[in-house]
């Protein structure tokens, strides 16, 4: 048996044992109960290795994809076996990186960070293609367009993974050289009616450009995501911000997770108000949950309270520009009711108003209260009905909106922290 194959056996043996141990980690009294005997461990190992080998062979025969003379026409057809195999490979890499698996904490953390997940068997699932709350009722494995927007959270193994085939995660030619030989039997051109010239071109996994570099990157990406999200390993954040920027930004703007102040700062620094995409800026201050509730982002307001100063105040102008856009009630925002929209506006105006007379802040009229009125008196009625959204001194300021002389100066508020609307 070759050295690389021996390594792979050890790899999956460690993964299998880790899974059994983590399942019993809730108390010392349970330790060892689910660890298999040497005989059953050997049986599990044989089954696991055979499963991975069978899955890899199938993936190699399916090939990476196909194209005609103009465009790609087919990508790898992913299924549940592919998911299970990739989970085993990632589990081993996480074990080597010191990942701490805890089922109860993992599930709670997933629910704290992500929203709108579908549970199927022992997976929580999300498809990021059509937006946060557009997840289908059933889990998807195939993604024949090649976008790979499926996210899977394994409750059994306590890890998070995307849609990957084995050749995208490990050097399969080195680990399984005998199985890799099956690619030599695959023709790279085939007759087909899907091409004008009657020929389609097959891309084998071995022919994918820079596959070795992709394998290393993909595994590092998945390990760093899991360590950061579920083990609170902040040392992985700089790498993720550099190499996984879109996903990291989506944690705040799509899923509404603002618990990490360093990540929040990075998102705010990179999302100034842009009239071409005005709602992106607002998503740092509110989150519309998939269950229909509106969450005001108290962490964002708290962060700004700590960091705003006469030498760091540019975001106040961005807030003003956003308020001007957002207060145009004639332009509907599909996901928000007028009351929810007014709650967001009230918190933003109320927050920024405290700086109106602060020494060193350049704009005495940081906020204009008139933006909260839509010319019909409807907003005034909604404000009263909702007790001015329980914001301290809001009523006093609102009723004196046309007088500049005697606003109270608020030095500390808790805007948006009270309740969902």
Residues 79 and 191 in one domain: yes
Say whether pLDDT at 308 is over 90: no
pLDDT of residue 357: 63
Query: Concatenated DSSP letters for 25-39?
Result: TT-GGGTTTTPPPHH
* Full strand arrangement of the beta sheet holding 159-161: 118-120, 123-127, 150-154, 159-161
Of 329 and 102, which is predicted with more confidence?
A: 102
Domain of residue 68, residue span: 3-229
Cβ-in-10-Å burial (0-12, 13-18, 19+) of 264 comes to buried
Per-residue HEC secondary structure of 41-89 comes to: HHHHHHHHHHHHHHHHHHHHHHCCEEECCCCEEEECCCCHHHHHHHHHH
Task: Please tell me the predicted confidence (pLDDT) of residue 317.
Answer: 87
Asked if 140 and 31 sit in the same domain, the reply is yes
Say how many Å lie between the first and final Cα of the chain, rounded.
Answer: 63
Residue 103 has pLDDT above 80, yes or no: yes
Residue 234 three-state SS: helix
Would you say residue 234 lies in a domain?
no
Residue 172 has pLDDT above 90, yes or no: yes
- Are residue 155 and residue 13 in the same domain, yes or no? yes
Q: Is residue 416 part of a domain?
A: no
Residue % of the chain over a pLDDT of 70: 73
Q: What is the pLDDT of residue 367?
A: 55
pTM: 0.81
CA distance 203 to 344: 51
Q: Are residues 267 and 216 part of one domain?
A: no
Does 378 have pLDDT greater than 80? no
Task: Tell me which of 8-12, 56-60, 176-180, 410-414 is least confident.
Answer: 410-414
Residues 71 and 208 in one domain: yes
- Whole-angstrom distance, CA of residue 297 vs CA of residue 263: 14
CA 155 to chain centre: 17
Report the share of the chain in percent with pLDDT over 90: 44
- Give the span between the Cα atoms of 159 and 247, in whole angstroms: 16
pLDDT, one tens digit per residue, over 137-169 is 667 776 666 667 789 999 999 999 999 999 999
User: Where among 163, 196, 229 does a domain terminate?
Assistant: 229
Q: What is the domain count for the chain?
A: 2
Region 400-419: mean pLDDT is 40
Q: Which residue among 187, 202, 229 closes a domain?
A: 229
Whether the pLDDT of residue 131 is over 70: the answer is: no
Q: How far apart are CA 227 and CA 234, in angstroms?
A: 8
Report whether pLDDT(411) > 90: no
For residue 418, pLDDT beyond 80: no
Residues 210, 332 within the same domain: no
Q: Give 199 or 235, the one with higher predicted confidence.
A: 235
> What is the band of 25 on the pLDDT scale with cuts at 50, 70, 90?
very low
Give residue 354's pLDDT. 77
Res. 241: pLDDT tops 50: yes
Most confident of 28-42, 184-198, 278-292: 278-292
Do 323 and 391 belong to one domain?
yes
What is the structure's pLDDT at 143?
A: 63
pLDDT at 370: 56
The single residue listed with the structure tokens 């906020």 is: 367
Question: What pLDDT score was predicted for residue 231?
Answer: 97
**Residue for token digits 């301290």?**
392
Q: What is the mean pLDDT of residues 352-372?
A: 64
pLDDT band at 2; cut points 50, 70, 90: very low
Cα(139)–Cα(135) distance, rounded to whole angstroms? 9
Confirm whether 350 is domain-assigned. yes
pLDDT tens across 262-304, in order?
A: 999 999 999 999 999 999 999 999 999 888 899 999 999 999 9
Longest dimension (CA), the chain: 86
pLDDT of 332 over the 60 cut: yes
Which residue from 214, 104, 171, 155 is spatially nearest to 222, judged by alpha carbons?
Answer: 214
Residues 254 and 189 in one domain: no
415 belongs to a structural domain: no
Q: What angle do CA 217, 208, 237 make, to 5 degrees?
A: 15
Q: Contact 374/325 with Cβ under 8 angstroms?
A: no
Task: Tell whether 37 is covered by a domain.
Answer: yes
400 pLDDT above the threshold of 90: no
Q: What CA–CA distance (Å, rounded) separates 65 from 177?
A: 21
> Is 240 inside a domain boundary?
no
Q: Average model confidence (pLDDT) for the chain?
A: 79
For the segment 225-242, the average pLDDT, to the nearest whole number, is 98
Q: Is residue 241 part of a domain?
A: no
- Same domain, yes or no: 99 and 155: yes
333 shares its domain with 363? yes
Query: Do 154 and 96 share a structural domain?
Result: yes
Q: Are both 321 and 385 inside the same structural domain?
A: yes
- Altogether, the residues listed in the chain come to a count of 421
Range with the lowest mean pLDDT among 179-188, 237-246, 296-305, 410-419? 410-419
Distances (CA, A) of 401 to 14, 114, 369, 373: 67, 40, 6, 11
Cβ contact 418:292 at 8 Å? no
pLDDT band with cut points at 50, 70 and 90 for residue 46? confident
Structure confidence at residue 204 (pLDDT): 96
Whole-angstrom distance, CA of residue 140 vs CA of residue 253:
24
- Read off the tokens for 411: 């030095």
Q: Is the pLDDT of residue 23 over 50?
A: no
Is 237 inside a domain boundary?
Answer: no
């Amino acid at each position: 048996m070759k050295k690389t194959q021996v390594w792979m056996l050890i790899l999956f043996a460690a993964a299998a044992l880790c899974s059994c141990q983590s399942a019993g980690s809730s108390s010392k009294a349970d330790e060892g109960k689910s660890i298999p005997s040497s005989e059953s461990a050997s049986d599990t190992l044989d089954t696991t290795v055979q499963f991975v080998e069978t899955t890899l062979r199938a993936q190699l025969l399916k090939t990476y994809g196909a194209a005609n003379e103009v465009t790609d026409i087919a990508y790898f057809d992913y299924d549940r076996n592919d998911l299970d195999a990739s989970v085993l490979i990632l589990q081993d890499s996480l074990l080597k990186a010191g990942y701490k698996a805890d089922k109860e904490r993992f599930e709670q953390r997933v629910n704290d960070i992500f929203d709108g997940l579908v549970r199927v068997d022992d997976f929580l699932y999300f498809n990021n293609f059509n937006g946060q709350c557009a997840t289908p009722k059933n889990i998807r494995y195939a993604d024949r367009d090649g976008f790979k927007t499926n996210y899977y959270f394994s409750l059994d193994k306590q890890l998070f993974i995307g849609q990957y085939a084995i050749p995208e995660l490990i050097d399969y030619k080195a680990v399984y050289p005998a199985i890799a030989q099956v690619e030599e039997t695959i023709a790279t051109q085939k007759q087909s009616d899907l091409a004008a010239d009657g020929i389609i071109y097959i891309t084998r996994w071995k022919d994918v450009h820079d596959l070795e570099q992709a394998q290393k990157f993909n595994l590092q990406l998945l390990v760093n995501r899991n360590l950061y999200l579920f083990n609170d390993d902040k040392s992985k954040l700089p790498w993720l911000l550099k190499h996984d920027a879109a996903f990291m930004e989506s944690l705040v703007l799509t899923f509404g997770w603002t618990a990490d102040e360093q990540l929040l700062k990075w998102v705010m620094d990179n999302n100034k108000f842009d009239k071409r995409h005005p709602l992106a800026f607002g998503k740092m201050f509110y989150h519309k949950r998939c269950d229909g509730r509106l969450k005001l982002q108290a962490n964002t307001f708290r962060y700004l309270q700590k960091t705003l100063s006469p030498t760091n105040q540019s975001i106040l102008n961005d807030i003003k520009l956003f308020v001007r856009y957002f207060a145009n009630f004639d332009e509907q925002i599909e996901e928000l009711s007028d009351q929810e929209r007014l709650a967001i506006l009230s918190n933003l105006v109320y927050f920024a108003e405290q700086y109106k007379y602060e020494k060193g802040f350049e704009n005495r009229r940081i906020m204009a209260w008139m933006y909260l009125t839509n010319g019909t008196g409807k907003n005034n009625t909604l404000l009263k009905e909702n007790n001015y959204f329980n914001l301290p001194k809001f009523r006093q300021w609102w009723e004196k909106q046309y007088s500049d002389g005697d606003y109270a100066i608020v030095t500390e508020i808790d805007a948006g922290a009270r309740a969902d609307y």
